[in-house]
Structure 1
């Protein structure tokens, strides 16, 4: 299974900065066995699509509407994202859950909308520090996973990606150990088996949380970790090149 590097820029880079970044990446990208996908602000996707045309780099959105179309001011549909070249859409990122009050039921609806619109949702789950300190991280995360998949009729392993992001390790410089990431990925794989049976072994499971070129190889060497959702390190071309090279 090919590792996926999902590069989540969050609210960074203007459209012109995004295009310049893409030019630099095309010039520097090494040979790698990993798939690269940029989760850019929606306003930058069209420019990136033009700049990265005929390259192996894929595109994705950082969020998606649960609605197909209609009177939903400010929202962006799957069809709109697909039209500007997106392949993926992140749903349920911890920042969306915390700052925008998105429940797992909303996440499930967004994931279902992505699939219906021909996109692959990257469905994020993970625990906060308080849950981790109680030793309840596995049960908490699997409950969140099941709820976030409650409206998702998966018909193939390539229709979804799961990203485990321990909230306490996002943007803090703290990183779950490779063993921590592996333990949770194993548990997620088991839960997927209960939900989707024959498709579960082919679903990619990512780790997200202060991923860097120095630690990505060890993390992705875990049996059920199939790539990473990368935040801060995704903004710098040299770091992305290092991440890709580490997985070559």
Structure 2
């Protein structure tokens, strides 16, 4: 194990066989806010975005938001958002450093900063991988309006705790400022995930006001998507092995398989 961390500076010292971002990360602008920066996002959506950046589409950097834990931010911030993707097959493993995450926020620490990122006119897409439980659905499939976090967010819209609260408050602020709504792209494997999230947010917004609910119902796009990739949990042994191969420490590499799929409905009025 080395005492040097992966970063924009130390990536220059990586072995030649390790793939690294070939684009100038200083030129990358934020265009996506992602809620739920777990291992799956970093092995899936962030990799697709990294490919877009490598192709010269420099307006799609990711602002990663952790809705609960500080762990991902604490691991990646000292690494300038960089991390290693280890792609394992039955007989080989390749390493790739991914650079698409340009900043990290922790919602409970800085709800105002998260709302500012969501309200930023440069933000055209908001993606989510927050797990099925975090959609806070009642038994019938609608919004669980009695959930304590929903109740708190309705009472305190400037300091939300849920994805619902952050999305609806930022859409309200964008509307008030004359900023086009962002597209909301659910990347959790829920049935009809776009329509499901659309319905939940409209129900939440209706508890704040009918005009806001109508705006979200009529003006905000919620394309459906399907994602597929196996992403096992990273172990301490994985961290040690990857760091040894890199010659520098990566506090949180991500393990995955070669197969990857992302099927997305083409409904992006704010750009893609």
Query: TM-score, normalized by length of structure 1?
Result: 0.38
More helix by share: 1
Larger Rg: 2
